[in-house]
Amino acid sequence: LSQTCTTSLLQVFSVSTAMGVGIQCLEACEDLHKYGFIHRDLKPANYACGLGDKIRVIYILDFGIARKILNVKGELKTPRQSVRFKGTIRFASIACHKNTEMGPKDDCESWFYLLLDITIPRGM
């Protein structure tokens, strides 16, 4: 998505396009959460458009620092006391910057920063 944005004149999407893209990005993130994982590095560069007849479909990419958040019983794992920073500074949640355990809410916060980045000229 970041490459698609930079090819437009203002380097952002129109509000209506950004909302459509944003909804698909959030739905992809929600699907990941349903399977018991958090992404921990949501940003425009980690989403891509499909090809051919799937050109309007957004796909989530790069699960290199994703983390399983459910234990073998399907319950949330006990949060760790301290964790190292993971992700991209510009899109990271406040909890991530504070080196505290991240959860689905932190992916949602990063998604919000992503939405600002693709909507507001010159980003955040």
Give residues with Cβ within 8 angstroms of 62, minimum separation 6.
Answer: 41, 45, 46
Residue 9 clears pLDDT 60, i.e. is over it: no
Total Cβ atoms within 10 A of residue 88: 16
pLDDT greater than 70 at residue 115 = yes
Q: Which residues are catalytic?
A: 41
pLDDT-derived band of residue 5, with 50, 70 and 90 as boundaries? Answer: low
Q: Give me the pLDDT at residue 10, please.
A: 59
Per CATH, which fold does 2-119 belong to? Transferase(Phosphotransferase); domain 1 (1.10.510)
Name the pLDDT band for 4 (thresholds 50, 70, 90): low
Residue 76, φ and ψ in degrees, nearest 5: -60, 135
Domain-wise residue ranges, the chain: 2-119
Please check the confidence at residue 119 and state whether its pLDDT lies above 60: yes
Q: In this predicted model, what pLDDT tens digit does every residue of 20-71 receive, in sequence order? A: 999 999 999 999 999 999 999 999 999 999 999 999 999 999 999 999 999 9
- Quick check: helix, strand or coil at residue 102? coil
Give the per-residue pLDDT at 3.
64
Return the HEC string of 5-45. Answer: HHCCCCCCCCHHHHHHHHHHHHHHHHHHHHCCEECCCCCHH
Identify the band that residue 1 occupies on the pLDDT scale cut at 50, 70 and 90.
Answer: confident
In this prediction, residue 13 carries a pLDDT of 83
pTM above 0.85, yes or no: yes
